[in-house]
Amino acid sequence: MNTTFPHLLIQHARSRPEDPALREKEYGIWQSWSWKRALDEVRWLAAGLASLGFAPGHNLAIVGDNRPHLYLMFLAVQSLRGVPVPMYQDAVAAEMAFVLQDAEVNYVFAENQEQVDKMLELRASVPGLTHIIYDDPRGMRNYTDPGLISVDELMALGRKHDELHPQLFEQRVAQGRPDDVAVILYTSGTTGRPKGVCQTHASFIGAAQGGVQTDGLSDSDNVLSYLPPAWVGDFLFSTAQWMVAGFTINCPESAETVAIDMREIGPTYYFAPPRVFEGMLTSVSIRMEDAARSKQWLHHKFMAVAQRVGADILDGKPVPLGDRLMYGLGKLLVYGPLKNAMGLSRIRVAYTAGAAIGPDLFKFFRSIGVNLKQLYGQTETCAYVCIQQNGHVKLSSVGQAAPGIELKIADNGEVLVRGVSVLKEYYKRPDATAEVMDAEGFFHTGDAGVLDHDGHLRIIDRAKDVGKMAGGAMFAPNYIENKLKFFPQIKEAVCFGHEKDKVCAFVNIDFEAVGNWAERQGLPYAGYVDLAAKPEVLKMMAECVEKVNADLASEEGMEDTQVARFLVLHKELDPDDDELTRTRKVRRGFIAEKYGVLIEALYDGRTEQFIETAVKFEDGRTGKVSAQLKILEAKTFPPVRSAA
């Protein structure tokens, strides 16, 4: 029964031995590994490791760029019932030391001279680091350190060991169990020291099968493997789904050649974080600015058609014949060349995750026929919790529960997950495991979200930042603030509503954007305080708040958090005044205390309030700024159930 990744590898090698399993571009030429060659090299790598004393239960660290031998090493280690521990290749030696010590690593696969140098440096603080295996021999000729061996030398040892122990590989693979740990992936450690997430073969295979089933992935697909191998998403796409679907993974020549290599390969299945798609759109925009007027006219004309009907055509929805014909012409003249320039011409499925993607960016790619979708997950869930189904993509959600996953929203709004992809444990951290796993087997994600009537999940905020309104509705201040800051005229916003009967807000104008607008309108002003108090500016802010409220009214679970009253602050919130952190995050508690009189005025029904505030100037001087602030009522809307 095919219950582990080595089992799946053997199945592919037996059923289609000469089909391509991997490709790598080296010196400008694509090299291929057949499934038979992949299995042979995994066998020799595993036997070589066994000859060095690697045994079941041992951990082997892996660090490097996306290379065939890196992915084959994952499988070789798993074949011996050992556990691979990938590390980020751009981490400095000191950052790697914790992982190596915590995972009790004696064996390391290091891609090249740069990574080998880090490992040799770490031997002083990690004395158990006895064996270092390197892939790229460039620069390594004069290295004679003990325990240092090349991949080619390791495979040569493996061939000899395999001749002496011909049954070892099959025996060890047969002993593998679905609940064996397949990989340990370390968290970033942003909220404490990094934790090793232990994920089993069953978890990742279950997650991979769900993705393959959802998107109809097959052995004819091609994937570009360019993301950090230590990231959970790369293990899902480039190892788990590779083994389950049997498609071909392609390793680029270098990080700098990814765009070129992508156009050459023409992947059918692709993943990128939002910033990559943003970069693609920016390059298109720059090229269009430099294009001839006729091309600009053509681009704008057909992009208007795409924005109007492209997503509906992609989703198979009815579209008038005239629009469908215009879209077909646009595909020939504009959309096709655009996708080809970005390397997306053969894409059947594309995913983004890891950060919120702007609705305009999302709409652009879907409108030109790129089946871009969002997914949601964490390291602790194999990056697999929600998937957007074809034909059911909502811009505001991350999709419905993926196959094999059960979602629940806790009383505090936190997203809870139970199912195939949930971690086995944190390595050597039963205390941390107990904190995130409850008695019913639900993993506590730390994210706050809401489920709409179709079961689509919308991530709102981090759970620790979410409160409750007096009427029981969930209050997610960052979610509302981010919607307000989407408008270029609004620089900062602070919302209040926890244990209150309504949401009220402070708003900062963006002095440069609003100042430019005022000058175009012929509206004179003396400075920030004067401009922020202008009736015309207050009207503009009211229109922005109204649009946000209209959005909130159409979002299930957020209808009761529309902004009821607001004011425009007389000064910019400033890190020098301790109102923001240096990374410009709102210091909510400090602001609530400093501007308590304004919050009282918002909730007492007053229409204006005098305020005098101490400020620090850039030259170190202190002073005071005062104003009589208008308090405005915001237009709110009855709940609107959006169409599925």
| pLDDT value, residue 644 | 40
pLDDT at 299: 92
**pLDDT for 582:** 59
One-letter amino acid of 45: L
Helix, strand, coil share (%) of the chain residues, nearest 5: 40, 25, 35
- Taking residue 37's Cβ as centre, other Cβ atoms within 10 Å add up to 18
**What tens digit of pLDDT does each residue of 346-391 get?**
999 999 887 667 677 888 999 999 999 999 999 999 999 999 998 8
Minimal CA–CA distance to 450: which of 394, 501, 496? 394
The Cα–Cα gap between 400 and 307 comes to 25
- Just give the CATH number of 396-465: 2.30.38.10
Query: 175: which 2 tokens?
Result: 């002993």
Residue 354 has phi, psi (to 5 degrees) of 100, -25
Sketch the domain layout of the chain as residue ranges.
5-212, 396-465, 467-633
pLDDT of res. 353: 83
Within 8 A by CB and 6+ apart from 419, the residues are 206, 401, 404, 405, 406
Cα separations (Å) of 635 from 498, 537, 539? Answer: 21, 16, 12
Which is nearest to 455 in space by CA: 386, 532, 395, 505?
A: 386
Low-confidence ranges of the chain (pLDDT < 70): 1-2, 189-192, 355-356, 358, 582-583, 618-620, 641-644
The helix (run of H) or strand (run of E) holding residue 593 is helix 588-594
What was the pLDDT predicted at 191?
55
Give the model confidence (pLDDT) of 460-500 as tens digits. 887 887 888 999 888 989 889 888 887 878 889 999 999 99
The CATH code of domain 467-633 reads: 3.30.300.30
In terms of CATH, what superfamily is 5-212? ANL, N-terminal domain (3.40.50.12780)
Q: What is the pLDDT of residue 478?
A: 83
